[in-house]
Structure 1
Amino acid sequence: MSPAPAPPSPRTRTLKVCGATSTRDIAVLATAGADLAGLWHGVPGGPAELPEREVAALAAAARATGVLHPVLVTFLSDTHALSGVLARTGIGTVQLHAYQRPSTVRALRTALPDAVIIKVLHVTGNTCLERPLLGAYEQAGTDLFLIDATTPDGRVGSTGQCLSEDTVLDLADRFTLPFWLAGGLNPANRSDHERVLHHPRLHGIDVDTAARGGDGRIAGPAVTRLARVWGT
């Protein structure tokens, strides 16, 4: 078995593809140029929601590729439950993709000091709901922020909504951590984010819909094109 890859350095622009649900998806991502596979658990009603046993199996498959790193994407806020899932699945990176408070981050950092904790920042229009808490999230032990768009009705995660470059840059100026960019990213709108791509703390991009083919499944050519166009 190949050794598990180390999490990509925050100095390296990475490509994370969310919503893998099968070993076939993992194989496609590993050969097409992705760095991280987002595995959904604790996302009620989510189209890519997986039971814990499947998360564990796909995380192991990702590590076995030697190039792909699994990320648990979750709405969970119960630190005890979340720590248990991470321990049992062997996943070392968690993306808190809901409105978990800084106290959740702090408790998770205490329980899992070696984990990589990513906190999503939800932006509706030009407004980030977590903006008043940015400093608290940093002090609590967050490693990375992920800037993502929500819909006007409050839907979060894989919304396909785009963010303006000015909104992203204004928000990034208000914290000091590395960050990922999400929100309707695709090969055609790369030029709309040129200044963000040159930001010294941009860690990578996070996509879902743009990595899929017409059948809705993760597609190798789509992932490869994303990696090439976005320079990951």
Structure 2
Amino acid sequence: MLVKICGATSAAEVRGVADAGADLVGLWHGVPGGRADLPAGRLADLTAEARATGRLEAVLVTFATDVEALAGLTGAGGPSWIQLHGYQPPGTVRALRALVPDGVRIVKVLHVDGGSCVEARLIGAYERAGADCFLLDAVAAGGRVGSTGASLDDGTVTGLADRMQRPFLLAGGLGAGNRHRFAGTRAHPRFLGIDVDSAARGEDGLLAAGSAAAVTRAWRAA
């Protein structure tokens, strides 16, 4: 099971994510107004830091739609994953797939508002366009998306997963204490792992190795 810790902004946080036993570190770029948004140069620096840990892969988390710019960030040692965390259409995924280097994985976020998924009818189109996997996340009050802390229902997750041919990651208010709420999700054959932000942070708001490790241990428990 993969563990992704999202929203690192410093080398110390990246190293802490690695020490926590995670597999992926999320680096924001092209997230206007986002508290963890990074300029391109800083994105490159932290991607190199992740690679230097010997265990982490960097995930470019973005709301952007400029596929040429995004593809350019993944070349020459850039992030090996791109997470499209917005309402980009299948055409954006198709264009991006044609431009990114071989081996770069494209993750398309599917936004769940209550019991319904905004992009449910497009799942097949995203798969045909070249999405490697999906990430299921909750839409918060007012339509806010991304690191909202809002949680999903296990049955809603598995129902969406049954419509997919690709693996999926689960996000949305996950922590060390709520693994038991997602028994169906964890048993699903296409379950790939989890994506955590808030629960991996300390009281100062920064990613903390101890907090991230607690989540990782809990979700990987037999």
TM-score norm. by structure 2 comes to 0.96
> Percent identical across equivalent pairs?
54
| Distance in 2 of aligned mates of 1:82 and 1:154 | 25
**Aligned pairs (5 A) from 1:17-32:** 17-32=5-20
> How far is 1:192 from its partner?
0.5
Query: Residues of 1 paired with 2:90 and 2:120: CA distance?
Result: 12
Unmatched tracts of structure 2, length 5 or more:
none
Question: How many residues are treated as equivalent by the alignment?
Answer: 220
Give the whole-Å Cα distance in 2 for the aligned partners of 1:45 and 1:100: 18
Q: How far 1:32 sits from its partner (Å)?
A: 1.3
SS of the residue corresponding to residue 214 of structure 1 reads: coil
CA shift digits 1:167-196 (9 cap, x unpaired): 101111111100000000011111100111
2:120 matched to 1:135? no
Change (3 A) 1:36 1:123: same
Q: Deviations over 1:151-181 (max 9, x none)?
A: 1311110000000101101111111100000
Cα RMSD of the aligned pairs, angstroms, is 1.1
Unaligned runs of 5+ in 1: 1-12
Q: Which runs of 4+ in 1 moved over 4 A?
A: none
**Equivalents in 1 of 2:189, 2:158: separation in Å?**
11
Per-residue deviation, 1:113: 5.0
Q: Where does residue 23 of structure 2 map in the other structure?
A: 35
2:141 aligns with one of 149, 152, 156:
152
SS class of match (1:193): helix
Shifted more, 87-96 versus 42-51: the winner is 87-96
Q: Work out which of the residue numbers 105, 110, 121 in structure 2 matches 1:116.
A: 105
TM-score normalised to structure 1 length: 0.92
Shift of residue 112 of structure 1? 1.6
- Partners of 2:84 and 2:194 in 1: how far apart? 16
Q: Does 1:16 align with 2:41?
A: no
Correspondent of 2:191 among 196, 202, 205:
202
| Cα distance per residue 1:72-116 (max 9 Å; x no partner) | 000011111211222266212100000011000001111125220
**CA distance in 2 between partners of 1:48 and 1:32 (Å):** 20
CA distance in 2, matches of 1:156, 1:202: 21
Q: Is the Cα contact below 8 Å between 1:56 and 1:88 reproduced in 2?
A: no
- 2:210 and 2:95 map into 1 onto residues whose CA distance is 40
